[in-house]
Amino acid sequence: MERIKQHAIWGHRGTFVLAATGSAVGLGNIWKFPYIAGENGGGAFVLMYLVFIALIGVPVMIAEVLLGRHGRANPIHAVGKMVRQSGASRFWSAIGWSGVLAAFLILSFYSVVAGWALDYVSTAARGGFGGWDGASAGAAFDALLADPWRLMFWQTLFIGLTVVVVAFGVTKGLETAVRLLMPLLFVLLLLLLAYAAVAGEFVRGLAFMFSFNPADLSWKAASVAMGHAFFTLSLAMGAIMAYGSYMPGKASIGKMVLTVAVLDTLVALVAGLAMFPIVFATPGITAGEGPGLMFVSLPVAFGNMPAGALFGVAFFVLVTLAAWSSTISLLEPCVAYVTERFGIKRLTANGLIAGSAWLLGLGSVLSFNAWADVSWLLGMNIFDFLDFFTQRVMLPLGGLLMALFVGWVARRDLLQHELKVEGGVLFGSWLWLLRIVCPVALLAILLAGVWAQFAS
């Protein structure tokens, strides 16, 4: 006879921080942040990004963790519980649903991109970057994208890695994985930073990232920075809520969330500081390279630098680990929901969900070659549509609803109980940010994102 299983709790005090940082630190920090900073002017962008992390990211993250821990269940049931206890309309349950659905959709295409990093590990390990120039690096990247079998191979391997961890469950799987992966990730990152300092144009990299020129402040840069602040903290996708639901009751949510936000930001900044000096040291490639910065410019740089083969491998292993700890956090909320809702075994739920995400991911694989020009929805191919819909629509919308629900609708005494406060300035400021500042900002991100898509 199957007993009804209790919702798991992390076995160590610091696991939430490691796991949530693992979720937060991903392709967003290492791939996206440096290139969008590069495209949007550097220092001014970085400054806006920091402000948005503090004023919007942190308050919403506290709200999300709070909902998870209060509910002690998967995101859908956790939000449902707060909705019921607050006597609120069932409409608000959409927050949980949208989170789990977004996690599933992102998992499908994030694994494809993460697969590219695995492919680059293998290329680098075979000494493949040696003597690359801009043209050959561009051609190599295009050749990878043009080959659906190769993409599928790495995507399958990557989802497989994720499934193995999630299969072992919260404490034996996720907890063990993040306790091993995260320290390794930090060590690799510091190693690469040291390499950039020694072998690269470090001062130029530093100046690029931190020199502030007011002329670079623009609405467009602000909306990109705001959207990214949200994405990089893994907000509104069920991931952070699920991890919060495993947090021991005694832990302080505020402190833990602040630590995660600081670590995530540090990783993004250090990733930039590890990449730009190398890029600047190589003639012919620029900082405003766009999405190709990591897959085109960087291999060229590694290919032409002393010990570049070794550090090239280290770099792409780092990217793989970062992406791995993120996909784990995308699969987990879906698996938690299906096991808790339907009472089926974790292993079965895991297989079903990961299998479906893999299948949907094939649509993204083909979006880079055979189906590149097939428009599925709103004139976009599958990858572009999923990327747009999850990041530009579901993410800000989910965050908006969450801020409004926790700020205005949820029972105040339950919030205070979970945060262990009885009011006070900190609580008051948090609530104020959540009620007014976050909704306005998130609405702006939503409108700007949708506008940018259709105006172009």
Applying CB under 6 A, which residues contact ligand PHE?
A: 23-24, 26-29, 106, 231-232, 234, 237, 239, 326, 329-330
Which one, 158 or 202, has the nearer CB to ligand PHE? 158
Query: Alpha carbon 6 to chain centroid distance?
Result: 28
Cα–Cα distance, 230 to 225 (Å, whole number): 9
Half-sphere exposure for 410 (CA within 13 Å, toward CB): 31
Cα–Cα distance, 162 to 186 (Å, whole number): 20
Shortest reach from residue 108's CB to ligand PHE, in Å: 13
Which one, 10 or 109, has the nearer CB to ligand PHE? 109
Residue in this structure with the two tokens 């921080």, named with its chain if needed? 17
Residue in this structure with the two tokens 């007014």, named with its chain if needed? 436
Which one, 111 or 326, has the nearer CB to ligand PHE? 326
Q: How far is CA 142 from CA 146, 148, 333, in A?
A: 6, 12, 34
Asked if residue 192 lies in contact with residue 29, where contact means CB atoms within 8 angstroms, the answer is no
**Nearest in space to 106 (alpha carbons), one of 376, 339, 357:** 357
Shortest reach from residue 94's CB to ligand PHE, in Å: 18
Which one, 108 or 282, has the nearer CB to ligand PHE? 108
Which one, 75 or 205, has the nearer CB to ligand PHE? 75
In this chain, which residue has its C-beta nearest to ligand PHE? 28
Shortest reach from residue 125's CB to ligand PHE, in Å: 24
Shortest reach from residue 26's CB to ligand PHE, in Å: 2
Which one, 303 or 396, has the nearer CB to ligand PHE? 396
Shortest reach from residue 106's CB to ligand PHE, in Å: 6
Asked if residue 56 lies in contact with residue 228, where contact means CB atoms within 8 angstroms, the answer is no
Which one, 108 or 329, has the nearer CB to ligand PHE? 329
**Nearest in space to 25 (alpha carbons), one of 190, 175, 180, 181:** 181
- Which residue blocks in 405-437 are alpha helix, DSSP H? 412-419, 424-432
Shortest reach from residue 249's CB to ligand PHE, in Å: 24
Phi, psi dihedrals of residue 380, rounded to the nearest 5°? -115, 155
Shortest reach from residue 219's CB to ligand PHE, in Å: 23
